[in-house]
Amino acid sequence: MNDHTAVHRTGVPRRTVLAAAATAAAAGAVEWAAPGRASAATARATAGSTGASLSFAEPGRAVRPKFRWWWPDGLVRPDEIRREIDQIADAGFGGAEIAAVHHSVTDTSELDTARHGWGTAAWVTGVEAALSQAARRGLTVDLTVGPSWPAAVPGITPDSEAAVKELAHGAVTVAPGAAYNGPVPAPVHEAASGVSKQRLLLVQAARVNTVNSTRKETGLDLDSVRDLTSAVTDDTLNWAAPDDGTWVVIAYWVRGSGQTPEAGPHTDPPAYVVDHFSAAGTRAVTDFWEKHILTKSVRRLLKVSGGALFEDSIELETDGLQWTPGLPDAFREHTGRSLLPLLPALVLDNSNQVYAFDAAVTRQIRHDFWETVSTLFNRHHVSALRTWARSLGLQLRSQPYGLQTDAIASAAILDIAEGESLGFKNLDDYRCLAGGRDMAGHTVLSCEAGAYAGSAYSTTWQRFLRTMGGAYAAGVNQTVVHGFSYAEFPGVHWPGYAAFTPYKGVAGYGESWGPRHPTWKHVSDVSGYLGRVHQVLQTGRAQADVAVFRQTGYTATGIGASWFTATGITLGWTHQFLSGPLLDLPSATVRRGRLAPEGPAYKALFVEGDFFYGSTVTLALKDARALLRLTRAGLPIVLLGAWDAVVPPGVPDSGETEELLSVVKELLAQPLVRRVADKTAVGDALTGLGVRPDVGYSTASTLLNAHRVADGVDYYYLCNGKHAETVKPPVAAIDHEVTLRRTTAKGVPYLLDPWTGRAERVARYTEDGGDGDNGGGSVTVRVTLQPAETLVVAIGRPGLFGDRNGTRPYAVDSEADEVRFTDAGLSVRSAATGTYRTVLSKGRAVSTSLKDIPEPTELTSWRLHVQDWRPGASATRTAVVEHDLTLDALVPWSQVPELADVSGIGRYRTTVTLGRGWTGGHGAHLELGTVTDTCRVTVNGHRLDPVDQIHPVVDLGGLLRRGANVVEVEVATPLANRLRVSDPGVYGGLTRGAYGLLGPVRLVPYGEARIA
């Protein structure tokens, strides 16, 4: 809602800035990079047909990024809701997810949850306003399943059948031969507030066996476990221990955990988290929606502008063990055994295991238990919610992790699986969900993106883009930006209500993007970039080289795959993770050596020990049979470890271990199976099986890649990134050749620029025609990228994307800096005077002289006009104070006394005079160096296409002329520097940011001449 009131301040005297400019990002670009817009009238190429039906230049709303839209429950006004939908639409985003979140609110009495809580009439009215305005603007609106998280609804109590449950335990130690006559041991933790009932499930005794003890767990003898429940009368136990050792009496109590959604209350009566493992829990959610939220108007609007029902990560918190009353029966159905004698190995105390049997048996029991819980979660919660959401015209989007459940299998059930940049440790966490998505034939993998602890109002879009660059290579293709806060709330300070800041009194999480930010003026450049990346990465079907079979399908763990994570990806290999249930999907077939040939088309399967259970070499019998079936059908398989000693992951049935060994022995004898003892041999084993990656690097590299295929066109997303943001040392610039497999023989490469929307035929590359095993062969291009910089290469028939170069020759080698297809034909560019030899595809060599190219010039003198954003007359109004300065060198605003605590928008202006030698054969790149944060460039009155905010180098093309040329750079900053002084109680601890155009800024002329 931010309005701006200008206060102009003039007469600032000329001053000389003496401090040196900050270190710049080094110059360099992809050799065949599409240039910046040469004139305002230059047309943007759009995608053609045959695999390029995507509208690359102007991606549709459906693929554009969304915002997580935080409301203070239902304390919202419909007119403001409609205005914020317009703000999101005008900025080029595709939708928003309404979430009731107010972690920053310390006095919740202002919320008046009885009238304005989640699910009240006021909240529904706000939802109707959002949906109706979204319908007008072509946006979609997602709705969270309940207030905050985890899933919860009012109308149930902690004692209700539908409420989340825990298994609490109590224990007492009994000496050898001693009698115990007393109350049944009470739970070691008191019940949560509101829990008034608890049911005794079972009382057991077990003999202590110190051989089985661990550093944290008391060892017990499994064979000694006995049921004492029948010895309980009126909550009193009377039992005499045998004299053969120390015994432990354990009582198990079933009760509600009393968990409420985060940062409540959100409703009146309070909402309680539902049982995620029972039909009753999910039914409580759907019944509440049907009765209180789904008015006729909402139902109608959901069919028009509804997107997805969303559920956040499964953060069920209890002092005991997650439980549901149906678990014992489900365990018997799943394993054929009783759960009750095994409970000592399962009970938890504040997430810590308490007891253990023999290590191998304990591992097997815990595996079987969580596999059963996974089955209940996927059946009663994920599948049931998905069916109900679809009945409303919605998809189900969810973060299916947080417990020890098979998130890979959940991802295959969900319409849209989602990960998160804050909670995921590395890119393999995304690859887990991507495996489920692609095996099930879904399209989208979403990401809750850009939440950074303690970074409210200091987050830059550059940081956001650095985070997301690698995630896209790992399979993400939808971004839900964290986030956009509703503007107003009583008593908040400028620049308005923010859901996560203040957080515990200081700067909180993420951002509250919107017009309150100076960078919002440029944000359509960012949303356009993200939309184009999404468009490419949602086109056709994903391809991955290898499927990594994960015995336990957890994610959000940071655990990767042997060899592939550390070595394979540095050589171009791509991988995804599968778990056992995915081998039962209809797609789990093999044709021409590819697993799931109509989907990810994996070339091989890699199997290793279970990282979550000490890397033990385990394999379920049914999965071993599946692997045998797949390799007999032609799938190469590599196994790492001692597979002649394989054991079942769960408690085996009689004869199961022997049968498993027999099946694995047969598996190892297959001609397409290789067993290696050391992870360093994995790559050689794959090579020996004839398996090659789709992408190959001439040297080990930090280049990450993702590959998709649509109608014979290959799309390659490339990012110079890293496996995890915490990896050290930092990623460096790369410059090397990359070989890309192509589906269509004689396909030619195109560069798709996601910042500008332009598509340009690559003019310099080599090709391998391929053979029967290599399909359409490959093309090799040279890639030069700065850290976190990205590019997209498409390979398809000539004529795509408006290409008119047909069968013209291209360059296979050149001494020039660049070779490009221009309107004049094949041309070379270089930044230095000289003669350059270029070898053409038809074998002819051409020498080209480029003369009188001016030397690069550093632009140091600037006029700077600053709009200084400050608190206005209300929390949602911004006052603007203006400054005019003259700079003799570029330095951060923090080093300029007048600008030290300023946030806002700066417009830098300088004049470049070009002499008589400047001709039509000259152009120039403008290198901006370091900029914080977003920027736009105007030259001689022509605003250029959006600037790559990671590597801000723009091609000025034909915009420069002999004589005076005016260059303007507009820079927008975060708000943190102003908030440090305007609200020091919250933001005073933030480090003063180095804002502005820091440079060095260089004008680098080049000569260009046609060669063919």
Residue 210: its pLDDT value, please?
96
For range 313-318, the mean pLDDT:
96
**CB neighbours of 283 closer than 8 A, spacing ≥ 6?**
162
| 472-499: pLDDT as tens digits | 999 999 999 999 999 999 999 999 999 9
Torsion angle, alpha carbons of 293, 298, 302, 304, to 10: -170
Is 123 in contact with 295 (CB distance < 8 Å)? no
pLDDT of 6 strictly over 80: no
pLDDT of 34 strictly over 50: no
Q: How confident is the model at residue 919 (pLDDT cuts 50, 70, 90)?
A: confident
For range 711-716, the mean pLDDT:
96
pLDDT of 35 strictly over 50: no
Is 811 in contact with 764 (CB distance < 8 Å)? yes
Could you identify the residue written with the tokens 């003496």? 18
Residue 683: its pLDDT value, please?
97
Is 682 in contact with 692 (CB distance < 8 Å)? no
Residue 920: its pLDDT value, please?
81
Residue 7: its pLDDT value, please?
38
Q: How confident is the model at residue 730 (pLDDT cuts 50, 70, 90)?
A: confident
**What are the φ and ψ backbone dihedral angles of 253, each rounded to 5 degrees?**
-120, 130
Is 452 in contact with 422 (CB distance < 8 Å)? yes
Distance CA 562, CA 606 (A): 9
Across 29-33, 220-224, 457-461, least confident range: 29-33
| 87-122: pLDDT as tens digits | 999 999 999 999 999 999 998 888 999 999 999 999
Residue 678: its pLDDT value, please?
96
Is 532 in contact with 477 (CB distance < 8 Å)? no
Nearest to 1001 by CA among 912, 951, 926: 926
Q: With the C-alpha atoms ordered 649, 654, 660, 665, is the resulting torsion angle positive or negative?
A: positive
For range 143-172, the mean pLDDT:
98
Residue 18: its pLDDT value, please?
21
Q: Is the peptide bond before 581 cis (omega within 30 degrees of 0)?
A: no
Distance CA 720, CA 698 (A): 15
Q: Helices 121-137 and 296-305 meet at what angle, rounded to 10?
A: 30
**CB neighbours of 669 closer than 8 A, spacing ≥ 6?**
none
| 756-770: pLDDT as tens digits | 999 999 999 999 987
Distance CA 54, CA 742 (A): 19
Number of H helices, E strands in the chain: 17, 57
pLDDT of 933 strictly over 90: yes
3-state secondary structure of 158: coil
**Amino acid occupying residue 26:** A
pLDDT of 206 strictly over 80: yes
Across 403-407, 525-529, 918-922, least confident range: 918-922
For range 158-175, the mean pLDDT:
98
Residue 145: its pLDDT value, please?
98
pLDDT of 435 strictly over 50: yes
- DSSP assignment, residue 198? E
| 820-868: pLDDT as tens digits | 999 889 999 999 999 999 999 999 999 999 999 999 999 999 999 999 9
Could you identify the residue written with the tokens 């490339």? 718
Q: How confident is the model at residue 2 (pLDDT cuts 50, 70, 90)?
A: low
Where is 1005: in which H helix or E strand?
A: strand 1001-1010
Is 621 in contact with 628 (CB distance < 8 Å)? no
Nearest to 494 by CA among 881, 88, 1, 898: 1
Burial annotation 880-906 (CB, 10 A radius, 16+ → b, else e): bbebebebebbbbbbbbeebebbbbbb
The Cα-based distances of 36 to 1, 755, 811, 939, 953 in angstroms read 34, 10, 22, 12, 9
Q: How confident is the model at residue 68 (pLDDT cuts 50, 70, 90)?
A: very high
Is 887 in contact with 861 (CB distance < 8 Å)? yes
Distance CA 341, CA 936 (A): 68
Where does 446-593 have alpha helices with state H?
461-473, 523-537
| 907-917: pLDDT as tens digits | 999 999 999 88
pLDDT of 263 strictly over 50: yes
Q: What percent of the chain has pLDDT over 90?
A: 90
Distance CA 589, CA 597 (A): 7
Give the largest CA-CA distance in the chain.
107
Residue 16: its pLDDT value, please?
21
| 507-532: pLDDT as tens digits | 999 899 999 999 999 999 999 999 99
| 41-55: pLDDT as tens digits | 222 223 333 334 358
For range 273-296, the mean pLDDT:
98
Residue 39: its pLDDT value, please?
26
| 803-823: pLDDT as tens digits | 888 888 999 999 999 999 998
Residue 774: its pLDDT value, please?
54
For range 386-413, the mean pLDDT:
97
Residue 25: its pLDDT value, please?
24
pLDDT of 380 strictly over 80: yes
428 CA to centre of own chain? 11
- Mean pLDDT over the full length of the chain: 93
Residue 921: its pLDDT value, please?
86
pLDDT of 729 strictly over 80: no
3-state secondary structure of 125: helix
For range 975-991, the mean pLDDT:
97
**What are the φ and ψ backbone dihedral angles of 545, each rounded to 5 degrees?**
-70, -45
Where is 366: in which H helix or E strand?
A: helix 359-376
Residue 771: its pLDDT value, please?
58
Where does 397-553 have alpha helices with state H?
407-413, 427-439, 461-473, 523-537
| Token pair for 724 | 């995890």
The Cα-based distances of 854 to 282, 743, 1007 in angstroms read 71, 44, 9
| 623-641: pLDDT as tens digits | 999 999 999 999 999 999 9
Residue 54: its pLDDT value, please?
52
Residue 10: its pLDDT value, please?
30
pLDDT of 198 strictly over 80: yes
Residue 108: its pLDDT value, please?
87
For range 682-707, the mean pLDDT:
97
Q: How confident is the model at residue 682 (pLDDT cuts 50, 70, 90)?
A: very high
pLDDT of 201 strictly over 60: yes
Is 530 in contact with 479 (CB distance < 8 Å)? yes
Residue 728: its pLDDT value, please?
72
3-state secondary structure of 369: helix
Nearest to 513 by CA among 444, 445, 446, 455: 455
